[in-house]
Amino acid sequence: MRNNSDFRIISERPLRLMDPALTVLYLAISIIGIFVIRSASMDQEVVLEFWEEPHIRQIVWLFITLVPAIVILAMDGAFFFKMAFPLYVASLILLIIVMLFGAEINGARSWFRFGPVALQPSEFAKTTTSLAVAAVCASLDQDVPPKTLLRNAAAVLFLPFLLVVLQGDFGSALVFVAIGLCLIRENIPLSLFFMALLLLLVSLFALIMKAWALALWVVGFGLLGLLYSMVRRVPRRMIIMSTVALLIWSQVVPFAYNLLAPHQKERISVVLGKGGDDWNLLQSKIAIGSGKWTGKGYAKGTQTKFDFVPEQNTDFIFSTVGEEGGLLGSFGLLILFALLIGRIVVVAERQRSHFSRTYGYAIASILLFHVFINVGMTMGMVPVIGIPLPLISYGGSSFLSFSIMIILFIRLDMGRKQSLALS
Protein backbone atom coordinates (compact mmCIF):
# COMPACT_ATOMS: atom_id res chain seq x y z
CA MET A 1 0.00 0.00 0.00
CA ARG A 2 2.67 2.45 1.03
CA ASN A 3 4.90 1.24 -1.73
CA ASN A 4 2.28 2.16 -4.26
CA SER A 5 1.81 5.67 -3.01
CA ASP A 6 5.55 6.29 -2.95
CA PHE A 7 5.89 5.06 -6.45
CA ARG A 8 3.15 7.39 -7.55
CA ILE A 9 4.83 10.35 -5.99
CA ILE A 10 8.08 9.53 -7.70
CA SER A 11 6.51 8.99 -11.06
CA GLU A 12 4.47 12.17 -10.89
CA ARG A 13 6.97 14.73 -9.58
CA PRO A 14 10.23 12.94 -9.15
CA LEU A 15 12.41 16.04 -9.11
CA ARG A 16 10.66 17.52 -6.10
CA LEU A 17 11.91 14.67 -3.98
CA MET A 18 15.54 15.20 -4.82
CA ASP A 19 17.49 16.63 -1.91
CA PRO A 20 17.84 20.28 -2.99
CA ALA A 21 21.10 20.94 -1.13
CA LEU A 22 22.84 17.89 -2.59
CA THR A 23 21.55 18.64 -6.07
CA VAL A 24 22.58 22.27 -5.97
CA LEU A 25 26.03 21.44 -4.57
CA TYR A 26 26.55 18.80 -7.23
CA LEU A 27 25.54 21.16 -10.05
CA ALA A 28 27.47 24.08 -8.61
CA ILE A 29 30.72 22.14 -8.39
CA SER A 30 30.21 20.67 -11.88
CA ILE A 31 29.62 24.09 -13.44
CA ILE A 32 32.59 25.60 -11.59
CA GLY A 33 34.55 22.67 -13.00
CA ILE A 34 33.67 23.64 -16.55
CA PHE A 35 34.87 27.20 -15.98
CA VAL A 36 38.09 26.05 -14.36
CA ILE A 37 38.74 23.59 -17.20
CA ARG A 38 38.20 26.38 -19.72
CA SER A 39 40.73 28.58 -17.97
CA ALA A 40 43.23 25.79 -17.39
CA SER A 41 43.13 24.71 -21.03
CA MET A 42 43.45 28.14 -22.58
CA ASP A 43 46.36 28.33 -24.93
CA GLN A 44 46.67 30.90 -27.66
CA GLU A 45 49.33 28.83 -29.34
CA VAL A 46 47.15 25.80 -29.85
CA VAL A 47 44.06 26.34 -31.94
CA LEU A 48 41.50 23.64 -31.42
CA GLU A 49 38.26 22.86 -33.20
CA PHE A 50 35.22 23.96 -31.22
CA TRP A 51 34.35 20.40 -30.27
CA GLU A 52 37.94 19.68 -29.31
CA GLU A 53 38.01 22.34 -26.62
CA PRO A 54 38.22 20.58 -23.25
CA HIS A 55 35.52 22.67 -21.61
CA ILE A 56 33.14 22.10 -24.52
CA ARG A 57 33.77 18.40 -24.26
CA GLN A 58 33.14 18.59 -20.55
CA ILE A 59 29.82 20.33 -21.21
CA VAL A 60 28.97 17.52 -23.61
CA TRP A 61 29.74 15.06 -20.86
CA LEU A 62 27.48 16.99 -18.54
CA PHE A 63 24.65 16.45 -21.02
CA ILE A 64 25.59 12.83 -21.59
CA THR A 65 25.30 12.41 -17.84
CA LEU A 66 21.61 13.34 -18.13
CA VAL A 67 20.92 9.93 -19.67
CA PRO A 68 22.15 7.76 -16.79
CA ALA A 69 20.75 10.38 -14.40
CA ILE A 70 17.25 10.04 -15.81
CA VAL A 71 17.55 6.27 -15.90
CA ILE A 72 18.69 6.14 -12.29
CA LEU A 73 16.04 8.57 -11.09
CA ALA A 74 13.35 6.62 -12.88
CA MET A 75 14.37 3.31 -11.34
CA ASP A 76 13.20 1.84 -8.10
CA GLY A 77 15.70 2.36 -5.31
CA ALA A 78 15.34 -1.27 -4.31
CA PHE A 79 16.72 -2.26 -7.67
CA PHE A 80 20.20 -1.12 -6.68
CA PHE A 81 20.15 -3.13 -3.52
CA LYS A 82 19.18 -6.20 -5.48
CA MET A 83 21.65 -5.49 -8.23
CA ALA A 84 24.55 -4.49 -5.95
CA PHE A 85 26.40 -7.77 -6.26
CA PRO A 86 25.72 -8.44 -9.94
CA LEU A 87 26.95 -4.90 -10.74
CA TYR A 88 29.98 -5.43 -8.50
CA VAL A 89 30.85 -8.71 -10.21
CA ALA A 90 30.29 -7.13 -13.62
CA SER A 91 32.71 -4.33 -12.81
CA LEU A 92 35.30 -6.84 -11.59
CA ILE A 93 35.00 -8.64 -14.91
CA LEU A 94 35.44 -5.35 -16.74
CA LEU A 95 38.58 -4.66 -14.67
CA ILE A 96 39.99 -8.00 -15.78
CA ILE A 97 39.04 -7.45 -19.43
CA VAL A 98 40.60 -4.01 -19.48
CA MET A 99 43.86 -5.50 -18.27
CA LEU A 100 43.85 -7.83 -21.22
CA PHE A 101 42.45 -5.65 -23.98
CA GLY A 102 42.54 -2.09 -22.74
CA ALA A 103 44.59 0.77 -24.06
CA GLU A 104 47.65 1.83 -22.18
CA ILE A 105 47.67 5.47 -21.12
CA ASN A 106 50.40 6.90 -18.89
CA GLY A 107 51.78 3.48 -18.05
CA ALA A 108 48.50 2.07 -16.76
CA ARG A 109 46.44 -0.39 -18.76
CA SER A 110 43.14 0.80 -17.43
CA TRP A 111 41.28 2.39 -20.33
CA PHE A 112 38.74 1.29 -22.91
CA ARG A 113 38.85 3.28 -26.08
CA PHE A 114 35.78 3.86 -28.20
CA GLY A 115 36.86 6.24 -30.92
CA PRO A 116 37.26 9.66 -29.35
CA VAL A 117 35.91 8.48 -26.01
CA ALA A 118 37.99 6.69 -23.39
CA LEU A 119 36.39 5.08 -20.35
CA GLN A 120 38.09 3.86 -17.23
CA PRO A 121 36.29 0.91 -15.60
CA SER A 122 38.04 1.54 -12.29
CA GLU A 123 36.13 4.83 -11.99
CA PHE A 124 32.81 2.99 -12.19
CA ALA A 125 34.06 0.22 -9.95
CA LYS A 126 34.22 2.78 -7.14
CA THR A 127 30.42 3.15 -7.32
CA THR A 128 29.70 -0.57 -7.67
CA THR A 129 32.10 -1.39 -4.86
CA SER A 130 30.38 1.17 -2.66
CA LEU A 131 27.07 -0.49 -3.49
CA ALA A 132 28.54 -3.89 -2.70
CA VAL A 133 29.97 -2.78 0.65
CA ALA A 134 26.64 -1.18 1.52
CA ALA A 135 24.86 -4.38 0.58
CA VAL A 136 27.25 -6.45 2.67
CA CYS A 137 26.63 -4.27 5.70
CA ALA A 138 22.89 -4.15 5.16
CA SER A 139 22.50 -7.87 4.57
CA LEU A 140 24.14 -8.88 7.84
CA ASP A 141 22.25 -9.10 11.08
CA GLN A 142 22.80 -6.40 13.66
CA ASP A 143 24.26 -8.95 16.09
CA VAL A 144 26.72 -10.46 13.67
CA PRO A 145 30.20 -10.17 15.27
CA PRO A 146 32.24 -7.26 13.95
CA LYS A 147 34.87 -9.72 12.73
CA THR A 148 32.50 -11.24 10.18
CA LEU A 149 31.40 -7.83 8.95
CA LEU A 150 34.97 -6.69 8.73
CA ARG A 151 36.07 -9.82 6.89
CA ASN A 152 33.28 -9.62 4.34
CA ALA A 153 33.69 -5.93 3.75
CA ALA A 154 37.45 -6.29 3.45
CA ALA A 155 37.03 -9.03 0.88
CA VAL A 156 34.68 -6.84 -1.19
CA LEU A 157 37.19 -3.98 -1.13
CA PHE A 158 40.28 -6.08 -1.66
CA LEU A 159 39.31 -7.58 -5.04
CA PRO A 160 38.96 -4.30 -6.97
CA PHE A 161 41.99 -2.93 -5.08
CA LEU A 162 44.10 -5.85 -6.26
CA LEU A 163 42.89 -5.64 -9.85
CA VAL A 164 43.55 -1.91 -10.11
CA VAL A 165 47.00 -2.35 -8.58
CA LEU A 166 47.68 -4.97 -11.23
CA GLN A 167 46.62 -2.44 -13.86
CA GLY A 168 49.45 -0.31 -12.62
CA ASP A 169 47.28 2.46 -11.17
CA PHE A 170 48.22 2.43 -7.50
CA GLY A 171 46.64 5.81 -6.82
CA SER A 172 43.18 4.73 -7.93
CA ALA A 173 43.59 1.43 -6.08
CA LEU A 174 44.03 3.30 -2.81
CA VAL A 175 40.53 4.72 -3.28
CA PHE A 176 39.12 1.25 -2.65
CA VAL A 177 40.96 1.13 0.66
CA ALA A 178 39.52 4.54 1.48
CA ILE A 179 35.98 3.20 0.99
CA GLY A 180 36.69 1.25 4.17
CA LEU A 181 36.29 4.54 6.08
CA CYS A 182 32.53 4.06 5.79
CA LEU A 183 32.85 1.22 8.27
CA ILE A 184 33.40 3.83 10.98
CA ARG A 185 29.63 4.11 11.02
CA GLU A 186 29.20 0.31 11.30
CA ASN A 187 29.32 -1.84 14.38
CA ILE A 188 33.07 -2.19 14.45
CA PRO A 189 35.20 -1.16 17.45
CA LEU A 190 36.51 2.37 16.95
CA SER A 191 39.77 1.27 18.51
CA LEU A 192 40.49 -0.52 15.23
CA PHE A 193 40.36 2.77 13.36
CA PHE A 194 42.40 4.34 16.12
CA MET A 195 44.93 1.56 15.63
CA ALA A 196 44.93 2.15 11.88
CA LEU A 197 45.59 5.84 12.48
CA LEU A 198 48.44 4.96 14.83
CA LEU A 199 49.90 2.64 12.19
CA LEU A 200 49.71 5.43 9.65
CA LEU A 201 51.44 7.87 12.00
CA VAL A 202 54.13 5.36 12.95
CA SER A 203 54.72 4.67 9.23
CA LEU A 204 55.14 8.37 8.65
CA PHE A 205 57.55 8.85 11.53
CA ALA A 206 59.43 5.69 10.59
CA LEU A 207 60.42 7.41 7.36
CA ILE A 208 61.67 10.62 8.95
CA MET A 209 63.09 9.38 12.25
CA LYS A 210 65.86 7.04 13.25
CA ALA A 211 64.41 3.56 13.89
CA TRP A 212 65.72 3.30 17.47
CA ALA A 213 64.41 6.75 18.40
CA LEU A 214 60.96 5.89 17.13
CA ALA A 215 61.11 2.60 19.02
CA LEU A 216 61.79 4.56 22.24
CA TRP A 217 58.80 6.81 21.59
CA VAL A 218 56.52 3.85 20.90
CA VAL A 219 57.60 2.15 24.12
CA GLY A 220 57.19 5.42 25.98
CA PHE A 221 53.61 5.85 24.76
CA GLY A 222 52.91 2.21 25.57
CA LEU A 223 53.96 2.85 29.18
CA LEU A 224 51.76 5.95 29.30
CA GLY A 225 48.90 3.78 28.05
CA LEU A 226 49.51 1.34 30.88
CA LEU A 227 49.45 4.21 33.40
CA TYR A 228 46.17 5.37 31.87
CA SER A 229 44.75 1.87 32.23
CA MET A 230 45.13 2.19 36.01
CA VAL A 231 42.71 5.14 35.97
CA ARG A 232 40.25 3.97 33.34
CA ARG A 233 39.18 0.48 32.53
CA VAL A 234 41.10 -0.30 29.42
CA PRO A 235 42.28 -3.87 28.77
CA ARG A 236 46.02 -3.91 29.49
CA ARG A 237 46.53 -6.89 27.25
CA MET A 238 45.34 -4.81 24.28
CA ILE A 239 47.70 -1.95 25.14
CA ILE A 240 50.69 -4.26 25.39
CA MET A 241 49.80 -6.10 22.19
CA SER A 242 49.32 -2.93 20.18
CA THR A 243 52.57 -1.47 21.53
CA VAL A 244 54.45 -4.57 20.43
CA ALA A 245 52.69 -4.48 17.03
CA LEU A 246 53.58 -0.83 16.51
CA LEU A 247 57.14 -1.51 17.60
CA ILE A 248 57.52 -4.22 14.98
CA TRP A 249 55.76 -2.07 12.36
CA SER A 250 58.08 0.86 13.04
CA GLN A 251 61.06 -1.35 12.18
CA VAL A 252 59.41 -2.95 9.14
CA VAL A 253 58.40 0.27 7.37
CA PRO A 254 61.93 1.48 6.49
CA PHE A 255 62.63 -1.90 4.89
CA ALA A 256 59.39 -1.77 2.95
CA TYR A 257 60.21 1.77 1.85
CA ASN A 258 63.48 0.59 0.36
CA LEU A 259 61.59 -1.92 -1.75
CA LEU A 260 59.67 0.86 -3.53
CA ALA A 261 60.56 2.02 -7.04
CA PRO A 262 62.82 5.09 -7.14
CA HIS A 263 60.13 7.44 -8.46
CA GLN A 264 57.76 6.34 -5.70
CA LYS A 265 60.42 6.90 -3.07
CA GLU A 266 61.02 10.33 -4.52
CA ARG A 267 57.35 11.25 -4.32
CA ILE A 268 57.28 10.27 -0.69
CA SER A 269 60.55 11.95 0.22
CA VAL A 270 59.36 15.18 -1.37
CA VAL A 271 56.37 15.28 0.97
CA LEU A 272 58.57 14.48 3.93
CA GLY A 273 60.70 17.48 3.06
CA LYS A 274 63.78 15.48 2.19
CA GLY A 275 65.55 16.98 -0.79
CA GLY A 276 64.14 19.72 -2.97
CA ASP A 277 60.73 19.85 -4.50
CA ASP A 278 60.20 18.05 -7.71
CA TRP A 279 60.02 20.69 -10.48
CA ASN A 280 56.43 19.94 -11.39
CA LEU A 281 55.33 20.10 -7.80
CA LEU A 282 57.26 23.32 -7.27
CA GLN A 283 55.45 24.90 -10.22
CA SER A 284 52.14 23.82 -8.74
CA LYS A 285 53.05 25.33 -5.37
CA ILE A 286 54.22 28.50 -7.08
CA ALA A 287 50.92 28.68 -8.95
CA ILE A 288 48.87 28.33 -5.77
CA GLY A 289 51.16 30.52 -3.68
CA SER A 290 51.22 33.32 -6.25
CA GLY A 291 47.43 33.54 -6.04
CA LYS A 292 47.74 35.19 -2.63
CA TRP A 293 44.50 36.49 -1.08
CA THR A 294 42.30 37.09 -4.08
CA GLY A 295 44.06 35.45 -6.99
CA LYS A 296 45.10 36.80 -10.36
CA GLY A 297 41.62 36.75 -11.81
CA TYR A 298 39.84 34.33 -14.04
CA ALA A 299 41.98 33.08 -16.96
CA LYS A 300 44.86 35.31 -15.88
CA GLY A 301 47.06 32.73 -14.20
CA THR A 302 50.47 32.84 -15.85
CA GLN A 303 51.59 29.53 -14.42
CA THR A 304 48.54 27.91 -15.93
CA LYS A 305 48.42 29.80 -19.21
CA PHE A 306 52.05 29.25 -20.01
CA ASP A 307 52.14 25.56 -19.24
CA PHE A 308 54.32 25.65 -16.15
CA VAL A 309 52.01 23.36 -14.23
CA PRO A 310 51.81 19.79 -15.54
CA GLU A 311 48.46 18.06 -16.11
CA GLN A 312 46.90 21.41 -15.47
CA ASN A 313 43.36 20.58 -16.50
CA THR A 314 43.29 17.12 -14.94
CA ASP A 315 45.15 16.06 -11.81
CA PHE A 316 46.70 19.47 -11.07
CA ILE A 317 43.62 21.52 -11.85
CA PHE A 318 43.45 22.81 -8.28
CA SER A 319 46.61 24.83 -8.93
CA THR A 320 44.59 26.89 -11.41
CA VAL A 321 41.92 27.48 -8.78
CA GLY A 322 44.61 28.54 -6.32
CA GLU A 323 46.39 30.79 -8.79
CA GLU A 324 43.39 32.53 -10.29
CA GLY A 325 41.03 32.43 -7.33
CA GLY A 326 43.55 32.98 -4.55
CA LEU A 327 42.79 32.05 -0.98
CA LEU A 328 39.24 33.29 -1.45
CA GLY A 329 38.48 31.07 -4.42
CA SER A 330 40.30 28.04 -3.05
CA PHE A 331 38.53 28.30 0.28
CA GLY A 332 35.27 28.70 -1.58
CA LEU A 333 35.75 25.52 -3.56
CA LEU A 334 36.97 23.57 -0.52
CA ILE A 335 33.93 24.74 1.43
CA LEU A 336 31.65 23.54 -1.36
CA PHE A 337 33.34 20.14 -1.23
CA ALA A 338 33.11 20.05 2.56
CA LEU A 339 29.44 20.97 2.35
CA LEU A 340 28.86 18.29 -0.27
CA ILE A 341 30.50 15.61 1.85
CA GLY A 342 28.88 16.89 5.00
CA ARG A 343 25.48 16.95 3.32
CA ILE A 344 25.98 13.37 2.13
CA VAL A 345 26.70 12.34 5.73
CA VAL A 346 23.64 14.24 7.01
CA VAL A 347 21.44 12.75 4.31
CA ALA A 348 22.92 9.31 5.00
CA GLU A 349 22.05 9.69 8.64
CA ARG A 350 18.38 10.27 7.88
CA GLN A 351 18.13 7.06 5.85
CA ARG A 352 16.03 4.36 7.34
CA SER A 353 17.62 1.77 5.16
CA HIS A 354 20.96 0.47 6.31
CA PHE A 355 21.96 0.02 2.67
CA SER A 356 21.36 3.64 1.70
CA ARG A 357 23.11 4.93 4.77
CA THR A 358 26.22 2.84 4.28
CA TYR A 359 26.28 3.71 0.59
CA GLY A 360 26.19 7.38 1.60
CA TYR A 361 29.12 6.93 3.95
CA ALA A 362 31.01 4.97 1.30
CA ILE A 363 30.75 7.70 -1.31
CA ALA A 364 31.47 10.36 1.32
CA SER A 365 34.69 8.44 2.05
CA ILE A 366 35.55 8.30 -1.64
CA LEU A 367 34.97 12.03 -2.14
CA LEU A 368 36.90 12.88 1.01
CA PHE A 369 39.85 10.77 -0.09
CA HIS A 370 39.86 12.23 -3.60
CA VAL A 371 39.60 15.82 -2.48
CA PHE A 372 42.17 15.51 0.30
CA ILE A 373 44.72 13.58 -1.75
CA ASN A 374 44.25 15.62 -4.91
CA VAL A 375 44.31 19.06 -3.30
CA GLY A 376 46.97 17.98 -0.80
CA MET A 377 49.15 16.73 -3.64
CA THR A 378 49.04 20.03 -5.51
CA MET A 379 50.27 21.71 -2.34
CA GLY A 380 52.95 19.15 -1.54
CA MET A 381 51.20 17.76 1.54
CA VAL A 382 50.83 14.24 0.27
CA PRO A 383 52.79 12.31 -2.34
CA VAL A 384 51.83 12.85 -5.95
CA ILE A 385 49.11 10.28 -6.53
CA GLY A 386 47.37 10.67 -9.84
CA ILE A 387 43.74 10.82 -8.89
CA PRO A 388 41.31 13.47 -10.16
CA LEU A 389 39.53 16.23 -8.25
CA PRO A 390 35.89 15.07 -8.31
CA LEU A 391 33.65 16.87 -10.82
CA ILE A 392 36.35 19.47 -11.52
CA SER A 393 39.16 17.62 -13.27
CA TYR A 394 38.75 17.34 -17.02
CA GLY A 395 37.81 13.83 -18.09
CA GLY A 396 34.60 12.15 -19.14
CA SER A 397 35.04 8.88 -17.27
CA SER A 398 35.76 10.57 -14.01
CA PHE A 399 32.95 13.11 -14.34
CA LEU A 400 30.43 10.54 -15.42
CA SER A 401 31.28 8.11 -12.66
CA PHE A 402 31.22 10.74 -9.89
CA SER A 403 27.91 12.00 -11.24
CA ILE A 404 26.38 8.54 -11.27
CA MET A 405 27.76 7.93 -7.78
CA ILE A 406 26.09 11.05 -6.36
CA ILE A 407 22.86 10.88 -8.37
CA LEU A 408 22.43 7.30 -7.27
CA PHE A 409 22.61 8.44 -3.70
CA ILE A 410 20.11 11.19 -4.39
CA ARG A 411 17.81 8.54 -5.85
CA LEU A 412 18.25 6.29 -2.81
CA ASP A 413 17.41 9.26 -0.59
CA MET A 414 14.28 9.98 -2.64
CA GLY A 415 12.97 6.57 -1.74
CA ARG A 416 13.99 6.74 1.89
CA LYS A 417 10.41 6.39 3.00
CA GLN A 418 10.16 3.17 1.11
CA SER A 419 10.80 0.11 3.16
CA LEU A 420 13.37 -1.90 1.40
CA ALA A 421 12.67 -5.51 0.78
CA LEU A 422 14.87 -6.76 3.52
CA SER A 423 13.88 -4.40 6.32
Partner 1 sequence: MMENAAHRRASVFLVLVITLFVLLALQLFNLQVLDERYHAAAEENVVKQRRTEPVRGEIYDRHGEKIAYNIVVYDLEALYVAMEENLDVEALAEVLGMPLFEVQERYDVYLEGINSGTIPKVRKYPIIRALDTTTSMRMREQLLDFPGLSLSPSSRREYVQYAPAHLLGYMGEINKNELKEYTTKGYRMGDYIGRGGIESEFEYALRGTNGEAYIIEDVYGAERGKYEEGNSDIQASPGNDLYLTIDLVLQQYARSLMENKKGAVVAIDPRSGEILTLVSTPDYNLSEIMGVNRGEYFRSISNAPGNPFLDRTLTGQYQPGSTFKTISALIALSSRTWSRNRSYVCQYVYRLSGQTVLKCSHTHEPAQNIGQALMHSCNPYFWEVFKKCVYGLRKESYAQALDDWGNACRSFGLDTTLLDIGMAESKGNVPLSSYYDGLYGQKRWAPTAMISLGIGQGELLLTPLQMAFSYSIVANRGQKVLYPSLIRQIGQNAQSKREYKDVLDVSWRDYEAVIDGMRLAVSSGTAKGNSIPGISFGGKTGTVEKWDQPSHSMFVGMAPLKEPEIVIAVIVENGGAGGSTAAPIASLMAEKYLRGSVLGPNRKALEYSIKIKNTLNWDEK
Query: Under the rule (CB under 8 A), what is the footprint of partner 1?
Result: 44-45, 181, 184-186, 190, 193, 283, 285-293, 301-303, 305-308, 322-323, 326-327, 330-331, 334, 337-338, 341-342, 345, 349, 361, 364, 368, 371-372, 375-376, 379-381
Measured between alpha carbons, how far is 421 from 423 in angstroms, rounded to an integer?
Answer: 6
Q: Which residues pair with 111 in a beta bridge?
A: 103
Closer of 34 and 371 to partner 1 (Cβ): 371
Name, in order, each residue with C-beta under 8 angstroms of 299's C-beta and a sequence gap of 6 or more: 38, 39, 42, 305, 324
- Minimum CB–partner distance for residue 374 and partner 1 (Å): 10
Closer of 90 and 345 to partner 1 (Cβ): 345
Measured between alpha carbons, how far is 209 from 273 in angstroms, rounded to an integer?
Answer: 12
- Minimum CB–partner distance for residue 145 and partner 1 (Å): 16
- Minimum CB–partner distance for residue 70 and partner 1 (Å): 30
- Minimum CB–partner distance for residue 341 and partner 1 (Å): 5
- Minimum CB–partner distance for residue 335 and partner 1 (Å): 8
Name, in order, each residue with C-beta under 8 angstroms of 333's C-beta and a sequence gap of 6 or more: 29, 32, 318, 321, 325, 392
| Signed CA dihedral, 17, 390, 177, 338: sign only | negative
User: 246 in helix, strand or coil?
Assistant: helix
State the DSSP H helix or E strand holding residue 148, giving kind and residue range, or none if neither: helix 146-167
- Minimum CB–partner distance for residue 4 and partner 1 (Å): 31
Closer of 226 and 327 to partner 1 (Cβ): 327
- Minimum CB–partner distance for residue 302 and partner 1 (Å): 4
Give the type of residue at 247: L
**What percent helix, strand, coil does the chain show, rounded to 5?**
75, 5, 25
Closer of 38 and 343 to partner 1 (Cβ): 343
The CA radius of gyration of the chain, in Å to the nearest whole number, is: 23
Closer of 87 and 406 to partner 1 (Cβ): 406
Closer of 148 and 302 to partner 1 (Cβ): 302
Closer of 67 and 381 to partner 1 (Cβ): 381
Backbone angles phi, psi at 193, to 5 degrees: -70, -35
